[in-house]
Amino acid sequence: MDLLLLMKNSRLNQYRRCLKKYRQKDIRMSGTSKRQAMLHSVARVKPVYSYPEKLGGKIKQIIRVLEKAKLNTELSYGFLYSIDETCIPHNKNRVIGNIPFDYSRVIDGSICQYREKCKKVRNAVSERNLTLLKAIEDYLDRICTQLENDKKLNECEKRAAIGRLKSMKESEAQTLEDAIQRILFWNQIFWQCGHTLNGLGRLDKLFARFPLTDTSGQSLSHFLEILHRYYNFKSSVILGDTGQIIILGGTGEDGTYFVNEYTYVIMECLKKLKLPDPKILLRVSRNMPDKLLRLAADYIAEGTGSPLLSNDDVVIPALKEFGYLDSDACNYGVSACWEPLSIGNSLEQNNLTGVEFGQVLVSMIDDGRFKECKTFEDVLKLYLEKLDGHIKSILSHLDGIVWEQAPLFTLFWQDCLEKGLDITEGGAKYNNYGILSAGISSAVDSLLNIRHYVFEQKLLDLDGLCDILHKNYEGASEFQQLFIQRSDGFGSGSDEAIDLTVRIMDETQKRISSYRNRFGGRVKFGLSSQGYVTSGKKTGATADGRKNGDPFATHISRSDNGSPIEIMRFAGKLCYAGGRANGNVVDVMLQSSLVKEEKDRFLDYLKASIQAGFFQAQFNVLSYQQLVDAKAHPDRYPNLIVRVWGFSAYFRDVPEEYQDVLIRRAKECEGI
């Protein structure tokens, strides 16, 4: 069967709807046999590893996509960027994505050099790489010919564009504009060939060797605007979830902090553009220059939710302990949102499913043995037993995933060439998986409430608690209020809450630490997840006052109007080492009076929080009244941008349940 899909618009829309549904379901890890049967029917088929036949099909498919994709030769600010949204490959299996391509390979090298490299190795991957390089060259030639023939284009601009494109074949990039065109070209190929959530990597480092000129700022600004094109097509589950993340700054192996003029200029450009996408992850450290953190603070004050801060002082040691070499840990990037990985040499599929801490709690309450527990330790033991079963089912789900071959990634991953293996067959240097989690705060607060109100204050018994939760607090609003009003739960400075969270994280880590996937890779988890709404929807009432179907808290956050210091202190007390390093974002709502009127103090706050040791942090600076109004009158706020889970999006595009979470949290933050 030829797998290329050439679709008309109506069919494309239908396809995209299905795709979104598919992905939406896919992130809600549940292990339901029906869904798995639907999505991964091929999972039960033993993969065939013999090369030529197996790779042939995929290569053919990519070649056909590159041959058939319609080209739009209209130049944007002198650059070419063309994706044919109606011509994408159909994939039977799960597609590799959510990882940044290492653009240094195409900026600091040429197709010709790569071909020579491949010729030196004789194995199935090198053969395939040569075929693919030929197809890409043909695609490049087709673009250049079409540009040549386009009479409407400005001749001078056209010559420059063709020159830049052709130079990719023979030489490394000579100018910033060359580098930008190369990134755009390869980026369009990845999108065209069905890879999604394509990150952009460490752009300031990539551009470092090009001197900054008077026009560089403008070129970069145009580049970022161009990347924002095809916004709908690129968006995954929710509009805005494109995964186009730019990593800036970062601590090197020698402990010094890397920053250059591009770090500033790129951030300035995005700040001025006021676009939700592409987005920035700024690697921060106590060694970073104040000037850079101040710029980040100013950008945060804009209220677009960018940049997300990733604390190298915590992340790098955690990655080293997980098993990355020093050089790779220091060169980390992230998947589409926040999950750390080593750029350019890893398979790292970091968003495969999630640990449902909240759902585990409900399954514990539903277990007949729950009512028989005599002490809090008995309850905790039962919770951990349920967690154990849940994690086992997650790990078996991971084993069932069948990957669609990924010749494009394999082409540039050095280890794949040397091993002669596709990236989806263990060809990469690192072959780890990652899982997210949802509902940790509900689980911790529920367990603390059980300890306090059942075993210590004896305000109710476990039987009564089960009854209240099964009735979804119907007729028991006093207990719901009792459970909600505690201020010393998850995210507070209470040692009890910190200890319990650490314990649950440790137990999760223990249970995943011995796992090895079929490539020998490990798995890591983190306390962030896009599933806080979707997971909440399918989880019954919990003993923290949360009703059946209500969303869980966003990542590491507090539901009350606590001090922004407290949540940072809490996050700094958690342990993220080893298998706990798959993204742990503190999600903070801030009043605009702090970030806009008290800039020096806000800077102090950020610096001190880095020292306190958060793993990652993102900020929403929102006004409750504005959000309420924007929900009622979306037309009045077409450009209002908010941070959703790990990306920024236009508020009007965010599904209602996510809008409601933001409105509620803004209200709590303002103490209304």
Partner 1 sequence: MSGELYVSNIQRMSLHDGPGIRTTVFLKGCSLHCPWCANPENMDVENQLWFDESRCVGSNERCIFIKGCGRMIARDRRGAVCMENDILKCPMHALKPVARMYDVGKLEQKINQDRHYWMNGGGVTFSGGEPLLQIVRLEPLLESLSRSGVDICFESAMFVPERLVRIALKYASRLYIDMKILDPEECLRYLGGDVKVYLRNMEIVASSGVPFIVRIPLIRPYTYQEQNICLMEKAMDRYCVPYVEIFSCHNLGDKKYAMLGKRSTHCCNVTEMELQALAERFASGGRTVRVLRLR
Residues that bind partner 1 (CB under 8 A): 453, 457, 459, 477-478, 481-482, 485, 493, 563-566, 569, 593-594, 598, 600-601, 604-605, 607-609, 611-612
Contacts of 262 (CB under 8 A, 6+ apart): 203, 204, 207, 208, 212, 220
**CA distances (Å), 579 to each of 317, 513, 610, in order?**
12, 7, 21
Q: Quick check: helix, strand or coil at residue 513?
A: helix
What is the three-state SS of 296-360? HHHHHHCCCCCCEEEEHHHHHHHHHHHCCCHHHHHCEEECCCCCEEECCCECCECCCCEEEHHHH
Smallest distance, partner 1 to C-beta of residue 464, A: 12
Q: Please, which residue, 202 or 452, has the CB nearer to partner 1?
A: 452
What CA–CA distance (Å, rounded) separates 322 from 260? 29
Q: How far is the CB of 494 from partner 1 (least distance, A)?
A: 11
Closest of 126, 98, 263, 288 to residue 196, by C-alpha? 98
b/e 520-555 (16+ beta carbons within 10 angstroms → b)? ebbbbbbbbbbbbbbbbeebbbbbbbbebebbbbbb
Shortest CB 30 distance to partner 1, Å: 36
For residues 467 and 657, which CB has a smaller minimum distance to partner 1 in the complex? Answer: 467
Tell me the sheet residues that pair with 589.
620
Closest separation in Å from C-beta 263 to partner 1: 23
Least separation in angstroms between CB 640 and partner 1: 23
Smaller CB distance to partner 1: residue 154 or 563?
563
Residue 138 or 478 with smaller CB distance to partner 1: 478
Work out how close the CB of 281 gets to partner 1 at its nearest, in angstroms, rounded to a whole number: 23
Closest to partner 1 by CB, 414 vs 561, is: 561
Nearer to partner 1, 363 or 609 (CB): 609
Q: Quick one: 506 or 597, whose CB is closer to partner 1?
A: 597
CA distances (Å), 379 to each of 5, 486, 488, in order? 53, 20, 20
Question: Would you give the distance in Å from CA 143 to the centre of its chain?
Answer: 32
CA distance 526 to 507: 13
Q: Which is nearer to partner 1, 31 or 464 (CB)?
A: 464
Closest distance to partner 1 from the beta carbon of 478 (Å): 4
Least spacing, CB of residue 294 vs partner 1, in Å = 12
The dihedral sign for the CA sequence 589, 592, 594, 599? positive
Least distance in angstroms from the C-beta of 571 to partner 1: 12
Provide the minimum distance between the beta carbon of 288 and partner 1 in the complex, in angstroms, as a whole number. 15
Q: How far is the CB of 515 from partner 1 (least distance, A)?
A: 36
> With respect to partner 1, which residue has the nearer C-beta, 143 or 309?
309
Nearest approach, Cβ of 477 to partner 1 (angstroms)? 8
Comparing CA positions, the residue from 649, 402, 613, 406 lying closest to residue 530 is: 649
Tally Cβ neighbours within 10 Å of residue 11.
Answer: 12
Q: Judged by CB, which is closer to partner 1: 170, or 598?
A: 598
Instruction: Report which residue type is found at 627.
Output: L
Residue closer to partner 1 (CB basis): 414 or 494:
494
By beta-carbon proximity to partner 1, the closer residue of 218 and 477 is 477
Given a contact cutoff of 8 angstroms between Cβ atoms, the answer to whether 415 and 427 are in contact is yes
What are the tokens at 399? 């084993």
What is the C-alpha to C-alpha distance for residues 425 and 139, in angstroms, rounded to an integer?
A: 27
Least separation in angstroms between residue 236's CB and partner 1 is 36
Task: Answer positive or negative: Cα dihedral of 117, 119, 124, 127.
Answer: positive
Residues 268 and 251 sit within 8 Å (Cβ to Cβ): no
Residue 111 has a CB neighbour count (10 Å cut-off) of: 17
Q: Which is nearer to partner 1, 155 or 600 (CB)?
A: 600
Asked if 346 and 606 touch (Cβ cutoff 8 Å), the reply is: no
Token digits of residue 264 = 């500033």
Q: Where do we find the tokens 């037309």?
A: 635
